[in-house]
A and B are shown apart, each in its own frame.
Chain A
């Protein structure tokens, strides 16, 4: 009885593994196979043409890169400071710490479309509109509309928990001995954080950033209402411009183009680039984390 139960469990897990691996392998192969003919240097370096039926995805790549860059510049410092507070200053048992932690965990569980709606309501309609009322001639819209800035800030909110969790883990991995040594030498707490704690957590901060970038590069829902453009013939030139985005571009090609069948090659190649970007970033994060763990064990 026990023996046959064991066999069933082993077979079931083997089947599950095979199923998962097959699905992933099929997906990757399918994307690669259908996208490879479209993929070319010109595809990466030119703009879409002929009503997005032809041409490349250059502005789409640039739009995505700008998005994650501004997102990181805005979000990572906030994440690092929050993690510093949680790891170095907060008393673990205090009510306020528990509230911060609860907020971070809740933020991580909020559906991404809700972030998009929040971005539209808060950044564009509240902050943007009020900026326009204060700065622009009556009735003119500048900040009160979807833009690279608002989309990046919305995405920064979405990825904040990722940064906080990764950085806090890295800060806690810095041995207590080193903090004690620095304090016993007459360094202040802030000097200790600046000169001992943060330098030893650098790879963790990088890991957090890269994980956030990987997430931000792949998400579409938060930028639907806050800045992604259907089609822009030029690159975004300022923070108040809209921009094109890899994930959104795939959606547009697959649902909005006059001849969906004809754009299949473009769709596959765009998805391939999107996957390469996110996988690549995650791979770097995994390698950095491995390095961090190894270093903290020594």
Chain B
């Protein structure tokens, strides 16, 4: 994978919930193997935008999407695109950790099983590899049969990350992945994000300015459904060009 290549290119993206516009003419390029943070006040459209990238908004009735989203050069909203295989390439981590009420092993093995892998040995290899990548293996390796719901909230969120990695995506979308976690669990997730970007392109929605500053390379500021400004995270937090960005990152509103 070439560095600094554009992994996702969004052109003129509009999104309507019924008649209400939730995203207005978004243009944004997301670079390979970088972490891009989406920030902005509640209701600004950053989560909605994130869900456009793996077409999770398709599930909501009455949503209309215009514009193009190119991933690896192909528009994912083209009618010939298979949403199921798209979601295998673009993994998603949700705000509230949502392991299945199954064992830790079966949680990670879920997607490989769905893809038809049933060989125990092969599954075990995938589960171990994914849990190692999610920095959870050492903590759970003796308890793979325990319920995914029995471990701590931070571990559950890393289990969800491992579960996504088992599909071998290129891109990971994270929707406020640490907002329900304590500071120690949060810092573990942040360390993990830092390690994962070597192999994945990561887009993270966060409410936490410090978190955006710590983990991301690029930051995009959303406000009222518009993309106000995007740039290198350092620049965005020290010398934003737009007044509203400056007000928001310095905590004057939001």
Contacts and interface: CB of A to CB of B under 8 A. Distances in A.
B94 A183 contact: no
A257 to B, nearest CB: 55
Interface string B79-119: 00000111110011010101111000000001101110000
Given A183-B87, A185-B87, A191 B114 contact: yes
A185 B91 contact: yes
A175 B98 contact: yes
Interface stretch (B4-12, B159-167, B225-233): B159-167
A123 B96 CA distance: 52
B110 A195 contact: yes
Contacts of A187: 84, 110-111, 114
Contacts of B99: 181
B167 A186 contact: yes
A177 interface: yes
A182 B100 CA distance: 9
Interface string B54-89: 101001010000000000000000000000111110
A91 B99 CA distance: 27
Contact of B111 (A178, A180, A186): A186
B161 to A, nearest CB: 12
Q: Decide if the interface of chain A is mainly helix, strand, loop or mixed.
A: helix
A200 interface: yes
A53 to B, nearest CB: 56
A188 to B, nearest CB: 5
B109 to A, nearest CB: 11
A21 B250 CA distance: 68
Interface string A159-201: 0000000000000000101101111111110010001100010
B149 interface: yes
Nearest to B164: A185
A192 to B, nearest CB: 9
B87 A186 contact: yes
A181 B87 contact: no
Interface string B121-165: 000000000000000000000000000010000000000100110
Interface residues of B, number: 27
A85 B94 CA distance: 27
A298 interface: yes
B54 to A, nearest CB: 6
A200 B100 CA distance: 9
Contacts of B96: 177
A21 B146 CA distance: 46
Contact of B94 (A91, A180, A195, A295): A180
A34 to B, nearest CB: 49
A184 B100 contact: no
A177 B163 CA distance: 14
Contacts of A178: 98, 100-101
A167 to B, nearest CB: 18
Contact of B85 (A91, A180, A186, A195): A186
A185 B56 contact: no
A195 B87 contact: no
Contacts of A184: 54, 56, 87, 91-92, 94, 164
A186 B84 contact: yes
B175 to A, nearest CB: 10
Given A180-B56, A196-B100, A185 B167 contact: yes
A181 B88 contact: no
Interface of B: 54, 56, 59, 61, 84-88, 91-92, 94, 96, 98-101, 110-111, 113-115, 149, 160, 163-164, 167
Interface of A: 91, 175, 177-178, 180-188, 191, 195-196, 200, 295, 298
Given A185-B91, A185-B164, A186-B115, 12 more contacts: A178-B100, A180-B56, A180-B59, A182-B100, A183-B87, A185-B88, A186-B84, A186-B86, A186-B87, A186-B88, A186-B114, A188-B84
